[in-house]
Amino acid sequence: YFKVIFIFCVMTIASFLMSLQYIILLLTKIWTFLTMLFKKKIRTVIQHQAITYVMCPLSPSSQYRLSKLDWKT
């Protein structure tokens, strides 16, 4: 009688551990998918950010050289 109960308990624990393994596997796949979406979203945001440059005055020689160039239109 006790042997049957022991075998039943072992089988129950084994099935619980297998279901726990599948749950963890499913959660890791969901986590991987969500992080992939998040990385993709961040990549598009970074790609479309405006670039700002610090305006510094040109030297007189640079101003002269730029004034002599033809403008491309």
Give CA torsion, residues 56, 60, 61, 63, to 10 deg: 60
Closest to 28 in 3D by CA, of 17, 16, 20: 20
* 12 located within any domain: yes
Asked whether residue 55 is assigned to any structural domain, the reply reads yes
pTM score, two decimals? 0.49
What would the mean pLDDT of 26-53 be, rounded to a whole number? 88
Flag whether 52 is in a domain. Answer: yes
**% of the chain residues with pLDDT over 70:** 97
pLDDT at 43: 85
Assess if residue 64 is contained within a domain: yes
Structural domain boundaries, residue 61: 2-68
Span 32-36, average pLDDT: 94
- Report how far residue 73's alpha carbon sits from residue 57's, in angstroms, rounded to the nearest whole number: 24
pLDDT beyond 80 at 8: no
Res. 73: pLDDT tops 70: no
- Does the residue 29 lie in any domain? yes
Q: Is residue 73 part of a domain?
A: no
Q: Is residue 36 part of a domain?
A: yes
What's the confidence (pLDDT) of residue 50? 80
Q: Does 26 fall in a domain?
A: yes
Number of domains in the chain: 1
